[in-house]
């Protein structure tokens, strides 16, 4: 597996643990619909949250969350629509971004951006 894929998987594991510690229920990981993938689908307070996790070793070009493009947001919305349909969910939803940035000592810094976008 390529090093960027390993880094991404590590970031997703950290994000999952972070959310679980905050009391979120993990519904799905790496949920795929057609060409779209949602890293984490979580649930809390009757709300389904679709989470994109972005992980970087540094932010010399931009912060990790800056790499969630409008196209990625549209793809997530398509997948979310299908997920909501399949689950019969009729309550609130939202789209969050969790960025994981490793400092110079290899320690992860997690930034959870709630309601990060609405496609």
Over residues 78-89, the mean pLDDT reads 96
The domains of the chain, with CATH numbers, are 3-117 (3.40.1350.10)
Q: Distance from first CA to last CA of the chain, Å, rounded?
A: 31
User: Rounded distance, CA 85 to CA 101, Å?
Assistant: 34
pLDDT of residue 77: 96
User: What's the pLDDT tens digit per position in 1-25?
Assistant: 665 667 778 899 999 999 999 999 9
Residue with tokens 């400092």, as numbered in its chain: 103
User: What's the pLDDT tens digit per position in 91-117?
Assistant: 999 999 999 998 888 899 999 999 999
Q: Taking the alpha carbons of 59, 60, 63, 64 in that order, is the dihedral positive or negative?
A: negative
pLDDT of residue 5: 67
């Amino acid at each position: 597996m390529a090093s960027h894929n390993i880094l991404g998987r590590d970031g997703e594991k950290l994000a999952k643990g972070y959310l679980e510690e905050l009391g979120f229920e993990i519904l799905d990981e790496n949920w795929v619909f057609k060409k779209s993938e949602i890293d984490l689908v979580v649930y809390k307070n009757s709300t389904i949250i679709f989470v994109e996790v972005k992980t970087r070793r540094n932010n010399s070009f931009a912060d990790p969350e800056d790499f969630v493009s409008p196209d990625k947001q549209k793809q997530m919305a398509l997948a979310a629509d299908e997920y909501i349909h399949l689950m019969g969910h009729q309550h609130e939803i939202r789209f969050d971004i969790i960025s994981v940035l490793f400092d110079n000592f290899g320690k992860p810094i997690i930034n959870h951006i709630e309601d990060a976008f609405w496609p």
